[in-house]
Amino acid sequence: MATKTIAGVTLDVSGEGYLNDPAQWTKEIASEIAKEEGIELTEKHFELIEWIRNKVESGEALTIRGIGKSGVVDIKGFYQLFPGAPLKKATKISGVPKPASCI
């Protein structure tokens, strides 16, 4: 449990930098976190971020397979938007908890 100031707002974050309270998230915060991860957010990114936030809010589990079927991107596109560790990066930028799934 720690706090971090992002985009001028002091936030509750986990040890790895994930927002503890998704309600505190704003687009500016997303852009700041993305910059730390070396990503410049585009319309497509935000479309997917919105999809991720909706999915988490409705209580459904996030899987990379689910994202491939989201209709927003396919899995290859997902890796291009968030290179390296896409699910970890996308959830961090989306202000939702770290996904605890193996798939």
Binding residue (CB under 8 A) for other proteins from 86, 92, 93, 96: 86
Among 10, 22, 76, 91, binds other proteins (CB under 8 A): 76
Is 95 one of the binding residues for other proteins (CB under 8 A)? no
Count the residues of the shown chain that bind other proteins, applying the rule CB under 8 A.
22
Q: Which of 22, 63, 70, 97: binder of other proteins (CB under 8 A)?
A: 63
d(CA 71, CA 21) in angstroms, rounded, equals: 27
Q: Which residues are catalytic?
A: 102
Residues 6 or more apart whose CB falls under 8 angstroms from that of 12 comprise 1, 2, 3, 19, 20, 21, 24
